[in-house]
Amino acid sequence: MPSALPIADPAPADGLVTPAPGAGDVPFGVYVHVPFCRVRCGYCDFNTYTASELRGVRRDDYAGHAVREIEWAAGVLDRSGVPRRPVSTVFFGGGTPTMLPASDLAMILRAIDDTWGIVPGAEVTTEANPDSVDSDSLETLRAGGFTRVSYGMQSAVPQVLATLDRTHDPERVPLVVDLAKQQGLDVSLDLIYSTPGESLADWRTSLDAALACEPDHVSAYSLIVEDGTAMGRMVARGELPAPDDDLAADMYELADQVLGDAGYSWYEVSNWARGSAHASRHNLSYWKGHDWWGVGPGAHSAVAGTRWWNVKHPAAYANRVLSGESPAAGRETLDDETRYVERVLLAARVRGELATSELRQEARGRVAGLIARGLVDGSAAVRGRVELTLQGRLLADAVVRELLD
């Protein structure tokens, strides 16, 4: 089952927030969590549900529940005194959003536009599995206002996909990429490396297959074996080998080399784009500390200095939104220290995002040592930016700890 929600303050039933100074001065985005999957992948601890786990609620009703939350959210922010802003980015994640009919996704997007307005040229993304879309659904998404699709490719190697419990045919990936391009959609491919039993040659096969599709964007994430997942139990019992950190580092270096040679530039530790215009603007909004409202079961929000997260099960979520009560399970108000820590933690991962002037004096004094150890780029530091080298990206958590100690 999905991991537990954080422990925090109770969330008021009316959902009202006390705006921090400057509320409304940063861009505003919307995340829509669609928590449905056909099968549960053994490595996944996201808030997702298969058909057998949806007692008390129907998947067909989800779009209506999401629209109710969107309409309610606008009233909450108005009553809280948070200035209305048009939406800069929208991201449908999951789960598998395209388990819903494309017309349902378009309906939710239309409600976002009707409620807040969507800025011209906004980025609107949906995640999808390669086997969950076809030409008709992609056409409906494009006509409904979507601009980008992010496919969960994960691997091109059948035995690696089997270990991950992924059910799609890897040979379908080029087809659905081409179908999306025919609709004028930007395409991202999500890959996972360091799967138990995966070799460096397997990983190269997946990279080559991804690049053969000529996507606009590639994400490559190192597998984390989470406690409580089926894979976590198999590793604990010795049925699968634990991921090897040294091999994972080799895989990351190979990805950076292969993607770089193909014309893709890294802009965040795990993300490469074919030109800055194809970087994920929505994900950048998280890393840059913008505001967003998270719609759906288990979705997280951060608006005007307050962060909260919704109840997890779709039935509990439906009961809350249909009764006009906040679906939030808990919340926290961010103090100055938390804001600073999170700013350094997130911005350091983004190329050129963290200015040395934002660091506290003692942290600025450590930048020279990080440069000497090959973890921070010296030329970027001269320009007043903290930019990780390749080695620094491999040790990003250690660099951040040093900047925060």
Fold topology of 28-287: TIM Barrel (3.20.20)
Query: What's residue 2's pLDDT?
Result: 47
What is this structure's pTM? 0.95
Query: What's residue 174's pLDDT?
Result: 98
- Binned average pLDDT, 10 residues per bin, the chain of 405 residues: 63 94 92 92 86 87 98 97 97 96 98 98 97 97 98 97 93 98 98 97 98 98 90 92 95 98 98 97 97 98 96 96 96 94 97 97 97 98 98 98 96
Q: Give buried/exposed letters for 185-197 (b at 16+ CB in 10 A, else e).
A: bbbbbbbbbbbbe
Q: Rounded CA gap, 295 and 301, in Å?
A: 8
Query: Which among 115, 29, 38, 108 has a CA at the least distance from the CA of 71?
Result: 115
Question: Which class for 312: exposed (0-12), middle (13-18), buried (19 or more C-beta within 10 A)?
Answer: buried
DSSP 276: G
Q: Which residues pair with 152 in a beta bridge?
A: 190
Question: Which class for 245: exposed (0-12), middle (13-18), buried (19 or more C-beta within 10 A)?
Answer: exposed
Per-domain residue ranges of the chain: 28-287, 335-405
Query: What's residue 151's pLDDT?
Result: 98
Other CB atoms closer than 10 Å to residue 247's CB: what's the count? 15
Is the bond preceding 260 in cis, omega lying within 30 degrees of 0?
no
Q: Rounded CA gap, 252 and 135, in Å?
A: 33
Query: What's residue 1's pLDDT?
Result: 40
